[in-house]
Amino acid sequence: MERRFRLVLACPDRVGIVAMVSNFISSHGGSISDANQHSDPTTGWFFMRVEISSSTLPFSIDELKDAFSPIAKSFNMEWEISDSGSPKKVVLMASRESHCLADLLYRYHEGELDCEITCVISNHDDLRSMVEWHNIPYHHVPVDKENKQPHFDEVNRLIRENDTDVVVLARYMQILPESICSDYAHRIINIHHSFLPSFAGAKPYHQAHDRGVKLIGATCHYVTQELDAGPIIDQDVIRISHRDLPEDMVRLGRDVEKTVLSRGLRWHLEDKVLVQGNKTVVFN
């Protein structure tokens, strides 16, 4: 695919934002290959994502940022420009369940995820052979239930050592400490096996069975200091009936979980997710 620069921005809504951004790009000979925008009437904020063919601009990405900065300042923008030619570095984390991790590794192997998976971190050694088949480093970092801090210290070291852009919790069954959540705000993606905010916490399928729901789902969201309460990126559901036991729900839910997680990760990698408070704008 042709290399592109991606401009994403959010700012207080006012007349002239689209015109100013478009005129800036066209005045330098830039060709817009994709553009999306959203105005939120409840908050008065404006969101925009633009892809520009890098070959049509006379700038490097740093020069483009410098040239655009005065416009961003004049509109009080929160903004970022990324380069599709520099894929994000991703660390995957998992425990014993393999379905989400296996799906992400398959999609990565097939070129569906535009990123570099630098390593996999797990508190169990069960998935090593699968990961190493993909020639990806596997780090087994055990957890002492009486003292989890050494585990998280090592996890944090590995994340920093790999110059990580995104951490993906692919059914990693540990709660990250507040320090890591804060350091990587909106850069840690989790899959929760329920249709949040319903059935947060442990054993959501068992909770759903006890409640007698007719739909179960999965939620891909950013991790925050509050358990299972971060901004939601994507969700999906599957229909069940009174005949389905908790183990049936687990089996049925796995397909939803891996699809939702891979979709949410792909959107994040392509800079299609903009966070607004505890909600997201997703230009999918």
Active-site residues: which are they?
A: 228
Report the interhelical angle of 99-109 vs 246-269 (nearest 10°).
40
Q: Which residue has the tokens 């299609």?
A: 272
Q: Decide if 7 contacts 84 (C-beta within 8 A).
A: no
Is the preceding omega at residue 197 within 30 degrees of 0, hence cis? Answer: yes
d(CA 243, CA 162): 47
Cβ neighbourhood burial of 84 (10 Å; 0-12, 13-18, 19+): middle
Q: How many residues does the chain have?
A: 284
Q: Which of 168, 166, 232, 177 has its CA nearest to residue 200? A: 232
Structure tokens at 58: 């006379």
d(CA 88, CA 99): 23
Structure tokens at 107: 């999609």
Backbone angles phi, psi at 107, to 5 degrees: -65, -35
d(CA 75, CA 72): 5
Strand order in the sheet with 4-12: 32-40, 45-53, 4-12, 78-83
Residue at 101: amino acid letter: L
Structure tokens at 21: 């951004």
